[in-house]
Amino acid sequence: MLQVEKVSKSYGTNKALNNVLLTIPKGTCYGLIGPNGSGKSTLIKIISRIIRSYEGKIKYIGGSKGTLGYVPQDISLEETLTARTNLEFFGQIHGLKGSPLKKKAERILKDIGLLDRADDIVESFSGGMKRRLNIGCALMHDPELIILDEPTVGVDPQSRRYIFNIVNQLKQQEKTMIYVSHYMEEIENLCDYVAFIDKGNIVEKGEIKELLNRYANTAVYFEAEDSAKLLSKENFTFAPYKTGVIIQTNDPLKTFTELVKLSRDHEFIPEQLSLFKPRLEDLFFQLTGTDLRDQNEKGK
């Protein structure tokens, strides 16, 4: 189990991370999501021992540090050399040599789908192929903890599939993973846990299933003409969401009844009245008031 204990990091007056607390259980895939500049890379660079001056602690409970495979956000490869040379280099750094090294490189080349390009210069690769190799290099030594910083940025669907396959394979081997992404769907599909990070703060975290259930069961989505005005008159507590509002409630059926009654009293039929089943995306919006998608489009 990996524990991030009250980790803070500042760049001058800019606080990149603020008192981050996370517990990453062994053998799980932990998603980390947040807008540009929220501190994701900073946090995982601290976990990967790249940034070594920070406040707080990184603890490994019930075991040693173990080996670590870090996949950087930027492609860091020797681009004037071949894919195989790159893989073997990272294997050698971790003490692999001889035929185990060759075999492992071959195995990884197969997994990342670059066997037929193994002896080509990396410069000649497409962006997606470089991304795959970037991941492969971090897996040469069979690490126990794998940290991936936005591994699917700017790749085509084919490369994306390869990357998902690799992650799923690692999950089957019960490796611990930290997966940073901008894409909620990826986190929802690949990860067991998620932490939302915004401006250096963890705003929510937990098991994805549990989080979705928790938030889904306690809200009702309501949409009608002037719904906000109407509801404030009737003393409802609500939050605007998309073109309607969400009403937090412990008893959704009761809220439904109240809203139906309200509609009847004011003689209109709501455009929409439904149990609010948020996706991670909505959850994030609810928690931070920022839409990740817009943010990222602006950021890029």
Partner 1 sequence: MWPLTKIEAKKQIKDKSLLFWTLLLPIVTIVILIELFSKNSTQKTLVASQSITGMSVFFSTFVIISIVISFVKDREKGMVARLASTPLKTYSFFLGKCIPFFIIIVLQILFLTAIGVYLYDIQITDYASYLIVTLLISIWLTSWGVAIALYAKTENTGLVMTNIIALVTAVTCGLWTPFEQLPGYLQTIGFILPQYWAHQGLVQFVSTLPGGEGLGTVALVLIGYSVLGFALSLVGYRGYIKMARS
Q: Which residues bind Mg ion (CB under 5 A)?
A: 40-41, 73
Secondary structure of the chain: what % helix, strand, coil (to 5)? 40, 25, 35
User: Which partner in partner 1, Mg ion, ligand ATP, none is near 74 (CB below 5 to 8 A by kind)?
Assistant: partner 1
Nearer to Mg ion, 39 or 136 (CB): 39
CB 93, min distance to ligand ATP, A: 24
Do residues 178 and 47 make contact, with C-beta atoms less than 8 angstroms apart?
yes
CB 136 within 8 A of CB 108: yes
Closest separation in Å from C-beta 150 to Mg ion: 6
Q: How far is the CB of 181 from ligand ATP (least distance, A)?
A: 9
Question: Which range, of 37-45, 101-109, 201-209, 278-286, touches ligand ATP by CB under 6 A?
Answer: 37-45
Interface with partner 1, residue 11, by CB under 8 A: yes
Could you give the CA distance from residue 231 to residue 238 in angstroms, rounded to a whole number? 8
User: Least distance from C-beta 185 to ligand ATP, angstroms?
Assistant: 17
- Min. distance of Cβ 81 from partner 1 in angstroms? 6
Q: Which of 20, 230 has the CB closer to Mg ion? A: 20
Binder of partner 1 out of 18, 19, 89, 201 (CB under 8 A): 89
CB 56 within 8 A of CB 6: yes
**Rounded (10°) angle between helices 98-111 and 83-93:** 130
Exposure string for 42-74, b = 16+ CB within 10 A, e = fewer: bbbbbbbeebeebebebeeeeeeeeebbbbbbe
Is residue 60 within 8 A of residue 66, CB to CB? The reply is yes
Question: Does 152 help bind ligand ATP (rule: CB under 6 A)?
Answer: no
d(CA 286, CA 51): 32
Q: By CB under 6 A, is residue 56 in contact with ligand ATP?
A: no
**In whole angstroms, how close is the CB of 300 to ligand ATP at the nearest point?**
9
CB-CB neighbours of 165 under 10 Å: 13
Determine the interface stretch with partner 1 among 86-94, 213-221, 230-238, 249-257 (rule: CB under 8 A): 86-94
Q: Residue 85: which residues within 8 A CB-CB, separation 6 or more?
A: 78
Decide: is 8 part of the binding site for partner 1 (CB under 8 A).
no
Interface positions with ligand ATP (CB under 6 A): 11, 14, 16, 34, 36-42, 73
Positions in the binding site for partner 1 (CB under 8 A): 11, 45, 48-52, 68, 70, 72, 74-78, 80-81, 85, 89-90, 92-95
